[in-house]
């Protein structure tokens, strides 16, 4: 097997005295959709923050395309090819939809920006209709689409998505998950953090289950979908 795109070894993260992440190992290969599941407070968002450099890691290594990322400022990590659609969408409310997408492509100087924007408009036609609207006036679902599209505009090798189904109308969850699949089919590797385990396992190749800051189970998504323990804890069977 070729070396993974992203490899995390023995990562620890602490908030003061609270040890949020206690030594996790995780790897993602090119082309995969990998999901991290787990209850509230398990450390899912913290893991993504660690990868993006938003919080310093206390111990361990983050290796992306053979390069060590730990200790870099978040904007440098974006330059390395990892972008993130953060939890709670966090679109810039006083910027228009277009300007939000422009900010997503902040570091790019290439001539494919328009092409990528059109791709996102094809995937989320509503964003095109609302291009000149302030992002703060969009519905929750539309803001989530914008958050994903904005992260995609960085042309990342690895796209981190933090709870894209959170607070979204159930009818939209399926279409957002479908869009994530489509982005993956076009060649972007995806790390998806979700509380909606069922929706995530249906589109992911592999999954990690986090509990209390450690990895409690991992494996192919199909196996986890059929696992009795997982079904009981997360799938409501």
Residues that bind another protein (CB under 8 A): 52-54, 73-75, 78-79, 83-84, 86, 90, 92-95, 99, 102-104, 106-107, 136, 150-151, 154
CB of 101 to another protein, least distance (A): 10
CB atoms within 10 A of CB 73: 10
Nearer of residues 83 and 165 to another protein, judged by Cβ: 83
- Assigned token pair, 32: 């995969």
Between β-strands 33-37 and 206-211, what pairing exists: parallel, antiparallel or unpaired?
parallel
* Cα gap 23→41, rounded to integer Å: 16
Choice between 164 and 207, CB closer to another protein:
164
Q: Is the Cα torsion angle 226, 228, 233, 237 positive or negative in sign?
A: positive
> Considering only CA atoms, which of 169, 118, 116, 111 is closest in space to residue 140?
169
Q: How far is the CB of 160 from another protein (least distance, A)?
A: 9
Complex with another protein: residue 49 or 206, whichever CB lies closer: 49
**Which is nearer to another protein, 79 or 181 (by Cβ)?**
79
Q: How far is CA 111 from the centre of its chain?
A: 25
Least Å distance, CB 182 to another protein, is 22
Token digits for 42? 């398990």
Q: How far is the CB of 106 from another protein (least distance, A)?
A: 5
């Amino acid at each position: 097997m070729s070396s993974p795109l992203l490899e995390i070894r023995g990562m620890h993260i602490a908030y003061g005295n609270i040890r949020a992440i206690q030594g996790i190992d995780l790897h993602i290969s090119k082309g995969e959709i990998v999901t991290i599941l787990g209850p509230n407070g398990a450390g899912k968002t913290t893991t993504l923050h660690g990868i993006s450099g938003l919080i310093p890691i206390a111990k361990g290594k983050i290796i992306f395309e053979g390069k060590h990322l730990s200790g870099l400022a978040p904007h440098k990590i974006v330059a390395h090819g990892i972008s993130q659609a953060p939890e709670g969408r966090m679109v810039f409310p006083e910027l228009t939809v277009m300007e939000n997408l422009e900010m997503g492509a902040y570091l790019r100087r290439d001539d494919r920006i328009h092409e990528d924007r059109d791709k996102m408009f094809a995937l989320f036609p509503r964003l095109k209709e609302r291009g000149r609207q302030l992002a703060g006036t969009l519905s929750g679902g539309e803001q989530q689409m914008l958050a994903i599209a904005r992260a995609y505009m960085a042309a990342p090798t690895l796209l981190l998505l933090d709870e894209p189904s959170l607070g979204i109308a159930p009818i939209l969850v399926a279409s957002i998950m479908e869009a994530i699949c489509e982005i993956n089919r076009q060649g972007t590797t995806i790390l998806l953090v979700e509380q909606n385990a069922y929706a995530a396992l249906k589109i992911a190749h592999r999954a990690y289950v986090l509990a209390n800051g450690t990895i409690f189970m991992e494996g192919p998504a199909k196996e986890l979908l059929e696992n009795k323990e997982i079904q009981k804890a997360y799938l409501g069977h």
